[in-house]
Structure 1
Amino acid sequence: MSRQPEGAAVEDSFAGRCVLVVSTNYAPEHTGIGPYSTQIAEHLAASGADTHVLAGMPHYPAWEVAQGYRGRWRVRERRGGVTVHRRRHTVPPRQTAAHRALFEASILAHGVLAPPRIRPEVVLTQMPTLAGGVLGGRLARRAGAPHVVVVQDLMGAAAAQSGIRGGGRAAAAAGAVEARILRGATVVGVVHESFVQRVTAMGVPRSRVQVVPNWTHVQGPSGDREATRARLGWRPEETVLLHAGNMGLKQGLDVLVEAARLADQEAAPIRIVLMGDGNQRDRLQQLATGVSALTFLPPADADAFPEVLAAADVLAVTQKASVLDMSLPSKLTSYFMTGRPVIASVAAQGGTAQEVLRSGAGSVITPEDPKALLAEVCALAADPERAARIGACGPRYAEEHLSSRAGLDRITALLRLATAARGTGR
Structure 2
Amino acid sequence: MKLLLYGLNYAPELTGTGKYTAEMAEALAARGHEVHVVCAPPYYPAWRVAAGWSAWRYGREVRGGVTVRRAPLWVPSHPRGATRVAHLASFALTSILPMLAQWRWHPDVVIAIAPTLLCAPAALALAHATRARAWLHVQDFEVDAAFGLGLLVQPHAARVAHAFERAVLHRFDVVSSISPKMVERLLMLGVEPSRVLCLPNWVDVTTIRPLDRASVYRQTLGISDDEKVVLYAGNMGAKQGLEHLVSAAALLERRTDIRFVFCGDGLLREEVARQCAGLANCVLIGLQPAAQLNELLNVADVHVLPQRADAADLVMPSKLAGMMASGRAIVAMAREGTQLADTLAGRAVVVEPDDGPALARAIEAVADDAQMRARLGESARRYAMQAFSPDAVMERLEQRLYGALIDRTGPETETSARTFRPPR
Paired amino acid for 1:235: S
Q: Cα 1:171–1:242, aligned 2, differ >3 Å: closer, same or farther?
A: farther
Equivalence for 1:355: 343
**1:134 corresponds to 2:118:** no
Equivalence for 2:231: 242
State the TM-score, normalizing by the size of structure 2.
Answer: 0.90
Equivalence for 2:160: 173
* Alpha-carbon distance between aligned partners in 2 of 1:227 and 1:112, rounded to the nearest angstrom: 46
Q: Indicate conservation of the 8 Å contact 1:76/1:83, yes or no.
A: yes
* Alpha-carbon distance between aligned partners in 1 of 2:242 and 2:155, rounded to the nearest angstrom: 21
* Alpha-carbon distance between aligned partners in 2 of 1:267 and 1:254, rounded to the nearest angstrom: 19
State the TM-score, normalizing by the size of structure 1.
Answer: 0.90
Between the two proteins, what is the percent identity of the paired residues? 35
Q: Indicate conservation of the 8 Å contact 1:240/1:273, yes or no.
A: yes
Equivalence for 1:342: 330
* Cα shift at 1:181: 1.8
Equivalence for 1:148: 135
* Cα shift at 1:168: 6.7
**1:209 corresponds to 2:184:** no
Equivalence for 1:300: 288
* Alpha-carbon distance between aligned partners in 1 of 2:398 and 2:215, rounded to the nearest angstrom: 40
Equivalence for 1:327: 315
- Unaligned ranges ≥5, structure 1: 1-13
* Cα shift at 1:26: 1.1
Q: Indicate conservation of the 8 Å contact 2:329/2:376, yes or no.
A: yes
Q: Indicate conservation of the 8 Å contact 1:324/1:349, yes or no.
A: no
Equivalence for 2:416: none
Equivalence for 1:9: none
Q: Which of 208, 211, 225 matches 2:214?
A: 225
How many equivalent residue pairs? 406
- Larger displacement relative to structure 2 (340-349 or 97-106): 340-349
Q: Cα 1:87–1:252, aligned 2, differ >3 Å: closer, same or farther?
A: same
Q: Which of 403, 414, 422 matches 1:417?
A: 403
Equivalence for 1:5: none
* Cα shift at 1:224: 4.2
Equivalence for 1:279: 267
Paired amino acid for 1:203: G
- SS of structure 1 residue aligned to 2:235: coil
* Alpha-carbon distance between aligned partners in 2 of 1:131 and 1:353, rounded to the nearest angstrom: 31
Q: Indicate conservation of the 8 Å contact 2:216/2:295, yes or no.
A: no
* Alpha-carbon distance between aligned partners in 2 of 1:84 and 1:305, rounded to the nearest angstrom: 25
Q: Indicate conservation of the 8 Å contact 2:56/2:73, yes or no.
A: no
* Cα shift at 1:249: 0.5
* Cα shift at 1:43: 2.3
Q: Cα 1:65–1:224, aligned 2, differ >3 Å: closer, same or farther?
A: farther
* Alpha-carbon distance between aligned partners in 2 of 1:116 and 1:28, rounded to the nearest angstrom: 24
* Alpha-carbon distance between aligned partners in 1 of 2:222 and 2:164, rounded to the nearest angstrom: 48
Alpha-carbon displacement from aligned partner over 1:37-62 (angstroms, at most 9, x marks no partner) = 11221222223322100111111121
Q: Which of 369, 373, 380 matches 1:394?
A: 380
- SS of structure 2 residue aligned to 1:51: strand
Alpha-carbon displacement from aligned partner over 1:98-142 (angstroms, at most 9, x marks no partner) = 121011110111022442522212111121212233332222122
